[in-house]
Amino acid sequence: MSETEIKVPNIGDFKDVEVIEVLVSEGQTLKKNDPLITIESDKSSVEIPSNLNGKIKTLKLKVGDKVSEGDLILTLENNSSIQEKVHKKPIIEKEFKKVQAIKSEINEITTHQNKVTNISSASPKVRKFARELGVDINQIVGSERKGRVIESDVKLFVASRSNNTSNDKTKNNERIKQDYTHSEFGEVEIKDIPRVKKLSSKYLMNSWTNIPHVTNHDEADITELEEFRKSLTDIYTGEKKKITPLAFIVKALTASLKKFPNFNSSIDEIDEGKMTVKKYYHIGIAVDTPHGLMVPKLRNADNKNINLISSELKNLSDQCRNLKIDKKELFGGSMTITSLGGIGGSFFTPIINYPEVAILGVGRSEKKQVFLDGKFVTRTMLPLSLSYDHRIIDGAEAARFNNELKENLGKNFAYKLAV
């Protein structure tokens, strides 16, 4: 009997990665694009589908194995070989049909049981993570293909359970059903939402639903800072340094966080009566990419000068745009900056990046006539939009924080930022 091999295809820069799920078994009949295995690297999890139809003869992998491109996953019985057997042995064909009917009944029963008991699909690693948090994984609705539960689903479930009563959950899950289709009114195109946007949407919904947002709008006078920034030159070549205003904003924000530690905290996910105040200063930077918005963390900003911050900002942006960022670098932040300065616009209402308690929105700077020292003068003003969690931060504290931030961006602080 001849057979066909299915191997690990070209899946990018994955090499010697762990198999965390085997989604098929020997004897199972496959259809093209059915998922076979799930592999997981430090960066992400990937399902590998079948590229052929057929019946699995031999399964070559198990959970925990390491695979790379070209490794054998399984072998399939060739259709011609199967058909030849059936034609030569009609009795076997009859028995085979009986077996298939029994298997079909078993599958229907299993499917029904899964629906009734709500059994969730998840990797052993995710199941262990759920058990450690005391969560019944079968209560979680998975976001991946066929409802498979991943680690971020568990985290979101824990957060929503602690922040809502059962009645609140029912209200939050209500959706207005439209009684028409968009195509009734003209031509439309159906497209997949990019993966990054699908992943981030869960966190955005969680933040907007569960955090009482308030936004404080203000303007910072950065006239001297801009003059100083544009005057910076390389001491060896004499060429002007290309340092964006964002590097200075990171440094100024870090200094403000040291004075107002409540802004560098998170509410405990399990016990809302407690909060975690962070002693580190990891600033999240919202990066606009073709795949969607990503928020990597610039680590230990308090220990870095402007030159190093500027260099790291560029590296982080490049890694995000090329999908080379380690997923761990998207978590563990103090506070996030989202800047529209390079695009345009002034004030807006940024959504807090859960589990942080504040986010700073920055608009495009603009020259304005400002009344200063008894007369109108032209100054460069930077729009600031500070959204904060009202459970931790009140309006007066937010106003004081913004005043401190403006002072840190002003003429008395600009020169110290470069040190």
Residue 10 lies in a domain: yes
State the DSSP string of 173-241.
T--PPPSS-GGGGS-----PPPHHHHHHHHHHHHHHHHS-EEEEEEEEE-HHHHHHHHH-B-TTT-PBP
Domain boundary among 44, 62, 77: 77
CB burial of residue 387 (10 Å; 0-12, 13-18, 19+): buried
What pLDDT, on the 0 to 100 scale, is given for residue 384? 96
Determine the structural domain holding residue 297 and report its residue range.
Answer: 213-417
Residue 17 lies in a domain: yes
| Collapsed DSSP state (helix, strand, coil) of residue 231 | helix
pLDDT band at 43 (very low <50, low <70, confident <90, very high): low
What residues act catalytically? Answer: 390
Residue 101 belongs to some domain of the structure: no
What's the half-sphere exposure (Cβ side, CA atoms, 13 Å) at 300? 3
pLDDT by residue (tens digit) across 388-416? 999 999 999 999 999 999 999 986 664 45
Residue 187 neighbours by CB distance under 10 Å: 6
Q: Are 27 and 74 in contact (CB under 8 A)?
A: no
Q: Is residue 154 part of a domain?
A: no
For residue 112, tell me if it sits in a domain. no
Q: Report d(CA 356, CA 295) in Å as an integer.
A: 12
CATH label of the domain that carries residue 334: 3.30.559.10
Average pLDDT estimate for 99-121: 53
Residue 158 in domain: no
Tokens of 116: 């009734």
Lookup: tokens for 54 = 């057929």
Distance, in Å, from the CA atom of 51 to the CA atom of 7, rounded to the nearest integer, reads 10
What pLDDT, in 10s, does the model give residues 122-158? 777 787 778 777 788 888 888 877 678 888 888 888 8
Neighbours of 100 (CB within 10 A): 11
Q: Residue 311's CB: how many other CB atoms inside 10 A?
A: 13
Query: How far, in Å, are 157, 167, 352 from residue 391 at the CA level?
Result: 20, 21, 13
Which of 116-120, 246-250, 273-277, 318-322 bottoms out in mean pLDDT, i.e. has the lowest? Answer: 116-120
pLDDT band at 109 (very low <50, low <70, confident <90, very high): very low
**Is there a domain that residue 50 lies in?**
yes
**Torsion of Cα atoms, 216 then 383 then 286 then 148, to 10°:** 40
Q: What are the φ/ψ torsions at residue 257 (nearest 5 degrees)?
A: -65, -35
By C-alpha distance, which of 255, 249, 276 is closest to 357? 276
**Residue 166 pLDDT grade (very low, low, confident, very high; cuts 50, 70, 90):** very low
Structural domain ending residue among the three candidates 77, 94, 121: 77
Beta-strand relationship, 45-49 and 35-40: antiparallel
- Looking at residue 413, its pLDDT comes to 64
Give the residues across from 221 on adjacent strands.
Answer: 381
d(CA 254, CA 259): 9
User: What CATH code is carried by the domain that includes residue 49?
Assistant: 2.40.50.100
Last residue of a domain, which of 77, 98, 129? 77
- 217/73 same-domain check: no
Q: What is the pLDDT of residue 1?
A: 59
Answer yes or no: is 96 within a domain: no
Tally the domains of the chain: 2
- Rounded to whole angstroms, the Cα distance separating 296 from 326 reads 9
The CB density around residue 172, as the number of other CB atoms within 10 Å, is 15
Determine if the pTM surpasses 0.95. no
